[in-house]
Structure 1
Amino acid sequence: MFTGIITDIGEIRALKQEGDLRARIGTGYDMASVDLGASIASDGVCLTVVAKGPDWYEVQVSAETVSKTNLGGWTLGKRVNLERALKVGDELGGHIVSGHVDGVAEVVALTDEGGSTRLVFRAPDHLAGFIAPKGSVALDGTSLTVNEVSGAEFGINLIPHTKQVTTWGDIALGDRINLEIDTLARYVARLRDWERHVASA
């Protein structure tokens, strides 16, 4: 489990296709404190550490994960948002993030407003109903507040600090971004569907 507060920016150092996609990610984390088998959210995707060195770790990405995320577009040198798994007692500074990406959103508008940047995304139709004004979403692992929603499109605002400590300073029109909807919205929708099922039984 994660919070959507990015704590490091990694870099893709190696990519290898060996059945699954295997990636080596450079990091500023103290890897002596990271166990093999630990989870690190990498661009919002919960991935298991399968090998490590002093300043890097490796992950295996299944074909299923590649199909549901933007990780298939990783290239050497790409910067990646990183967050280690939440520990008991850690501050919950963002919102509860599982690291299980629901789909990919596309950047369809980008406007600089002073030092901030306003972005509009288009979500997949089947996820749009889970996104609400002033609600939370995780985008490439970053906990962000939704400003407004119009159909399948929604807007957010990036302050200068967020752009400096994440990969959001690299954003461009047309970029495909990992989207995880709010966990609470997921359960509310499931409860509603179940109540309809019971009522029609």
Structure 2
Amino acid sequence: MFTGIIESVGSVIAVLHEGTNMQFWITSSLSAGLKPDQSIAHNGVCLTVEAVKDNTHQVTAVQETLQKTHIGEWKAGDYINLEQCLTLNSRLDGHIVQGHADTTATCIAKEALNGSWKYHFRFPEKFAPLIIEKGSVCVNGISLTAFDVTQNSFAVAIIPYTYEHTNMQQLNKGDTVNIEFDMIGKYVVRGMELGRG
């Protein structure tokens, strides 16, 4: 379980293919303190640390993960948002994030607003019931507030701190991001579909 508050930005230093899986070595300020079997959110996707060496750690994405996220596009030099899982004595500064991406979205616009930035994203319309105006949404692991919500798009505003401490500064029009919609909203929609809402 995560909160969508990014702790570090790592960099992919190696990508390996093994059958239908992809392995990644990532260097970051968190890596040296990690241990095998820990769950770490990578651009909002929960992956298990398999090995740690100096200031790098290794994770593997299996076929299911590669099909539902943009991890298969990662290459050496890419910057990745990282967050360790919650502890029971942590503040919940963002919102409840599972690290299970629902889909990907495409950045369709990036606007510099003289001190902040506005990003617009397009997502598959079948997910429209899962996002609301001023609701929480996780973009590449970052807990953000959605606005200008339509059937297949939404916008988010990025403050300078978030811009400087995440990989949003590398994100441009045409880029793909991982999206996780609010878990509570998903349960509500599921209950209604089953006629129990």
Change over 3 Å in CA distance of 1:14–1:30 after alignment to 2: closer
Matched-pair contact (CA < 8 Å) for 1:132–1:148: no
Name the structure 2 match of 1:23: 24
What RMSD, in angstroms, separates the aligned Cα atoms of the two structures? 1.3
Give the superposition deviation at 1:54: 2.2
Match for residue 112 of structure 2? 112
In structure 1, what is the equivalent of residue 77 of structure 2?
77
Secondary structure class of the residue paired with 1:65: helix
Q: Is the 8 A contact 1:47 1:60 kept in 2?
A: yes
Alpha-carbon distance between aligned partners in 1 of 2:122 and 2:2, rounded to the nearest angstrom: 24
TM-superposed CA distance for 1:61, in Å, is 0.5
TM-score, with structure 1 as normaliser: 0.94
Q: Secondary structure at the match of 1:150?
A: coil
Q: 1:30 to 1:42 in 2, by over 3 A?
A: closer
Q: 1:59 to 1:30 in 2, by over 3 A?
A: closer
Q: Gaps (5+ residues) in structure 1?
A: none
More divergent stretch after superposition (63-72 vs 146-155): 146-155
**Mapping of 1:1-201 within 5 angstroms?**
1-19=1-19, 20-29=21-30, 31-32=32-33, 34-195=34-195
Amino acid at match of 1:29: L
Residue-pair matches, total: 196
Instruction: Show structure 1 runs of 4+ deviating over 4 A.
Output: none
Task: For residue 149 of structure 2, give the secondary structure of its aligned residue in structure 1.
Answer: strand
- Whole-angstrom CA distance in 1 between matches of 2:132 and 2:171: 23
Q: Secondary structure at the match of 1:149?
A: coil
Where structure 2 has 5 or more consecutive residues not aligned to the other structure, the ranges are none
Percent of aligned pairs sharing the same letter: 37
Distance in 2 separating the partners of 1:30 and 1:171: 23
Partners of 1:38 and 1:122 lie apart in 2 by 32
Larger Cα Rg: Structure 1 or Structure 2?
Answer: 1
Helix, strand or coil: the match of 1:186? helix
TM-score with structure 2 length normalisation? 0.96
Query: Compared with structure 1, are the counterparts of its residues 30 and 59 closer, same or farther at alpha carbon in structure 2 (3 Å cutoff)?
Result: closer
